[in-house]
Structure 1
Amino acid sequence: MSRPSLPLARERTDAPVTDVRERLLRTAGELFYREGTRAVGVDLVVARSGVAKTTLYRHFPSKDDLIEAFLRREDEDFWQQWDQVAAAHPGAPEQELEAQLQWIGDRIARPGYRGCPQINIAAEYSNESHPARKVAAAHKAELRRRLGTIARVMNLTDPDGFALKMSIVVDGALSSGRALHGEGPARFLHSFARTLLGAG
C-alpha cells in the first residue's frame, strides 16, 4: 500500500531570511526531538514548516547539516543556562555545583522531557564521524571540563576523577530522566554528588 503524499508546502515569500531559517530549525528540532532523526525526512520538515524544499537546502545543504544545527542550538542553550547559574555564584563553588545540579534536575523533570537530545540523536548513528556524534562528544567533554573547574576551585584531591564520575552521573540522569521522577532528578543528582564528595 502506498503512503499518502505530503501536502506541498506553500512558502511565505515575504518572510525575512532569518525568520525562514529559524522556522526550519525550530520545526525540524521539534520533530527530531520527538520522533528521532531517522524517522523524520526532509519532506516532513518542509510540509510542517511551510518552506519550499529548495529554500531548505539553501540554508541547510543536507539533512545532516540540519541535524547538526539543531544539536548545536541545543548545546548553546544548555551552556547559556550553565553560565547564568555560574554568574550567580561567583567564588562559591559548592553553591554553584548545587545550583547547577538543581537546574539540570529541573530540566529533566519538565513536562515533555524525552531525554538529552545530544545523547538520543548520537545513539542513532554508529559512525563516529557523523556530526551528531561529534556534537555529543564535544558536549560531554565540555561538561567534564566545567565540572573539573568547579572541583579545582573546591580544592578536591582528584578534581579530574570527580569531574569524570559526576559527568557520567549527569549523563545517566539526562538519559533516564523519567525513571528518576519518583525520587526527583535534582535530588538524585545532589545525592550522588554528596557521595562522590564524601568519597574524595
Structure 2
Amino acid sequence: MGQTVHARSEAAAPSESPVRQRILASASRMFREQGIRAVSADRILADAGCAKVTFYRHFPTKDDLVVAYLEAELDDARRVVEAAALLPESARMEALARAVGDEMCAPGFRGCPFINAAAEYADPDHPVRAVVTRFREWLTGEIAARLEALGVDDAEDRAAEIMMLRDGAMVAGYLTGDVEGVTAALQRSVGAIVGRSI
C-alpha cells in the first residue's frame, strides 16, 4: 500500500517546539540505524545542534527520549493501520502484511524498533517496555478485529500467531535482506491462517 508500518515522518504535534522536534528526529534516525544503547545523549545533541541544557529541558533523561521515540513509532503505525481501514475488508489483511515488507525497504532498516527496544531494556517494568507492550497489544487487537470481520474462528489466537509471523518476518528481513521473499512468505503464511490467499 506504499506506506510503512512505522512511517518515517518527522511530523510532530503543533504544540511541540521546533527544537524538541529536531532532537527527536535526530534520535529516531540514530536509534533506528545504530541501536538505542549505542547512541549517547551527547551524540544526539551534537547531531541536533542544541546545547545540553536545552536537550535536558525537553528530555530530562535519555529514557524519556527513548519513550518519545517509541511513542512516535506507535503513532506512525496507527496512521498506517487507519489508512488500511479505508480499504475493502477483503484487502485489509493483505495491506497489513505488505506494510511489513514496505518497512523492511525503509533506509537504515535494522529490525522492528519495538523488538529492538525490548532486547535493550530487559526490565519488564521499565517505561520503555510499557510502550513496547502497548504497541504489541494494540496491533494484536487490530489484527484480531480484522480476522473477526472476515469470519475467522478463534480470531484472538490467530492474531497472536500472525504477530509471531510478523516478528519472524522482521528479523528475517533484516538478517537476509530478501525483502520480496520474506514478504511473500509472510503473505502465504497469513493466508494459511486466514484460510484464503492474500
TM range (shorter): 0.7 to 0.9
CA distance in 2, matches of 1:182, 1:105: 6
Query: Where do 5+ consecutive residues of structure 2 fail to align?
Result: 1-14
Aligned equivalent of 2:64 = 65
Equivalent pairs counted in the alignment come to 181
Whether the 8 Å contact between 1:180 and 1:188 is mirrored in structure 2 is no
| Contact 2:101–2:180 (Cα < 8 Å) also in 1 | no
Equivalence for 2:195: 198
Of 122, 126, 136, the match for 2:122 = 126
Going from structure 1 to structure 2, the CA distance change for 1:168 and 1:85 (only over 3 Å counts) comes to: same
Residues 1:68 and 1:108: Cα distance change in structure 2 (over 3 Å): same
Aligned to 1:154: 150
Separation (CA, whole Å) in 1 of partners of 2:91 and 2:87:
10
Identity %: 34
- The alignment's TM-score, normalised by the length of structure 1, stands at 0.84
Task: State the alpha-carbon separation in 1 of the partners of residues 179 and 46 from structure 2.
Answer: 39
Which deviations, in whole Å up to 9, do the C-alpha atoms of 1:81-136 show, x marking residues without a partner? 111111133xx2x3111122112222213343111111112211111122221111
AA at the equivalent of 1:34: E
TM-score of the pair, normalised by structure 2? 0.84
Contact 1:151 1:159 in 2 (8 A): yes
Give the letter aligned to residue 186 of structure 1.
Answer: T
Structure-2 separation of matches of 1:180 and 1:39: 22
Determine the C-alpha separation between the residues in 1 that align with 2:148 and 2:134.
Answer: 21
Letter in 1 for 2:58: H
Q: What's the CA shift for 1:46?
A: 1.3
1:182 deviation in Å?
6.1
Q: Tell me, yes or no, if the aligned pair for 2:111 and 2:170 is still in contact at 8 Å.
A: yes
Report the 3-state secondary structure (helix = DSSP H, G, I; strand = E; otherwise coil) of the residue aligned with 2:109.
coil
Which runs of 5 or more residues in structure 1 are unaligned? 1-15
Indicate the RMSD between aligned Cα atoms, in angstroms. 1.9
Using CA pairs below 8 Å that are at least 6 residues apart, which structure has the higher relative contact order?
2
Residues of 2 paired with 1:185 and 1:31: CA distance?
A: 25
SS for the counterpart of 1:126 is coil
